[in-house]
Amino acid sequence: MKRKALLFWTCSLLGAALVLFFLSPALYRLGAFRFAVRVLPGLGRTRIELPPVGAVEARTHLTPLDVVLTLRSVDPDQLQRLLGSPGARQAALATLREGGRRIAAHFLLRTLLLAAAGGAWGASWVRRSWPDRGKGAVLSAAVWVLVATGAAATFNVQAFQNPSYSGILKGAPWMLGLAQTAWERLDKLGADVRFLTQNLRQALDRANAAAPLERLQDDIKVLHVSDLHNNPLGLSFIAQIKADFGPDFIVDTGDLTDFGTPLEEGLLARLPALKVPYYVALGNHDSPVIAQEVRTLSGVHLLEGWQAVRGLTLAGRADPTSLSADIKPAGEEAVLAQVTDLSALIQEKGQAPFILAVHDPRVGENFAGVVPVILMGHTHQARVEVKGGSVLVNAGTTGGAGVRGVQSEKEVPLTAALLYVHAQGAAPQLDAVDIIRLYPRAGRFELARTTVGATLRQ
């Protein structure tokens, strides 16, 4: 008799566990985030999954239950409104607290009903009467209440001060301190960026007076930016340069983001507001998620081959690493493969483009002496070099190396390059390149002009 009773209770609890395992996942929206919650048998851990870059988890409670939260999507417009408002940090925390309690209550009620249904189902494996199914439901619901209450009573959010990471996020512990420091600095630095960049026009006038080139005013202006690394200050910098200098189009040589996650799409949503054609060759810190988002943006174009822009030919490719969630720089084989691919593209077209845009200088430098103007990024070092009759331009890091640069003791400048192209002759010619460096913390900027003169022609 005892054996039959034990079998009955075991089947009831097993049925409840199976139903909870397969049917507990539920979708919720909290602020700008949409995520799934589910429970699993486990060791009292809470796991936060951030596809495609990995997960963070910690031992947060004592009951044999794991709670798993998986980020599904981010509303960039709502995130931008939240982070762009006064007191953004406090508002975000308040939203998380209030919404979190509501979601927890709903999820607990949902799983309680699932546990009861699963218990009744499990009981029916050995006893088919409705009273026995009811007993199985009551038992399973009671056990679930004990487990869930125990988890809630012993839950320690401070456990996430010492979490474990998987995937790309293994490199994330240092990011937590950086993010906190950066958030505190961004508001002040944003005001400094706006103030300093408003004086760029005066610097340009001084540069023109020192090295006059009368035809520059009729030249096509190409703004070259790179390595934003999800820094909103970098986008403000670009917007002010656009307002002051009026570039005809912008070429971005990649690393729009730090990890290539949906969480970082908020900055991308602001690119169409620049209202100037924007061409992107993705970098190793970008990903297929970012590529998909860029394709949805009005006026923003992925460089995936050959383009004709304002009478200039522009070619480019995404960094090989951007085709995956890996943020490590491309290996030598991948670099060689991209060089081969671009060489084949040029051979197919029968001529070199006027501008080649790639993220990695190891790729771009192979085309010195072939392509007149080569735009690159990755190194965070802005420079202009004439090599083999080609002009190689590295825009450095328009985002000041992102959150790392904001936190760094030694200030990393926000940098960009403005190219002046004379396109009224038989073939386009690069006249000059301005490298702009902005130091928001130091309260200064630099503008250095390189007069190029004759370059390789198409």
Nearest to 299 by CA among 276, 331, 324, 329: 276
Predicted structure pTM score? 0.67
373 within a domain of the structure (yes/no): yes
Nearest to 346 by CA among 224, 385, 338: 338
232 within a domain of the structure (yes/no): yes
Domain count, the chain: 2
Nearest to 354 by CA among 425, 411, 439: 425
Q: What is the residue type of 21?
A: F
The verdict on 204 and 163 lying in the same domain is no
Task: Output the pLDDT for position 196.
Answer: 54
The verdict on 296 and 338 lying in the same domain is yes
11 within a domain of the structure (yes/no): yes
Task: Output the pLDDT for position 176.
Answer: 44
Task: Output the pLDDT for position 453.
Answer: 66
Parent domain of 33: 2-171
Mean pLDDT, 10 residues at a time, over the chain (458 residues)? 80 90 89 87 89 80 92 68 57 72 90 93 89 90 92 88 70 46 49 55 57 70 96 88 92 91 79 96 93 95 95 96 86 96 96 97 97 97 95 96 65 93 88 90 81 57
The verdict on 239 and 113 lying in the same domain is no
Instruction: Give phi and psi for 396, each to the nearest 5.
Output: 75, -125
Task: Output the pLDDT for position 184.
Answer: 47
Q: Is 287 left (phi over 0), alpha (psi -120 to 50) or beta?
A: beta
215 within a domain of the structure (yes/no): yes
The verdict on 231 and 121 lying in the same domain is no
User: Could you read off the pLDDT of 103-147 as tens digits, one per residue?
Assistant: 988 999 999 999 999 999 988 998 888 888 999 899 999 999 999
The verdict on 208 and 331 lying in the same domain is yes
**Domain finish residue from 129, 155, 171:** 171
The verdict on 262 and 303 lying in the same domain is yes
The verdict on 216 and 110 lying in the same domain is no
Instruction: Give phi and psi for 250, each to the nearest 5.
Output: -120, 135
The verdict on 350 and 208 lying in the same domain is yes
The verdict on 237 and 358 lying in the same domain is yes
191 within a domain of the structure (yes/no): no
264 within a domain of the structure (yes/no): yes
Task: Output the pLDDT for position 444.
Answer: 76
Beta strands 300-302 and 278-280, pairing class: parallel
The verdict on 382 and 435 lying in the same domain is yes
181 within a domain of the structure (yes/no): no
Instruction: Give phi and psi for 265, each to the nearest 5.
Output: -75, -15
Task: Output the pLDDT for position 396.
Answer: 96
83 within a domain of the structure (yes/no): yes
**Domain finish residue from 155, 171, 187:** 171
Task: Output the pLDDT for position 296.
Answer: 94
What are the strands, taking DSSP E only, across 23-178? 26-30, 33-41, 45-50, 54-59, 65-74, 164-167
The verdict on 132 and 205 lying in the same domain is no
Task: Output the pLDDT for position 458.
Answer: 42
The verdict on 289 and 421 lying in the same domain is yes
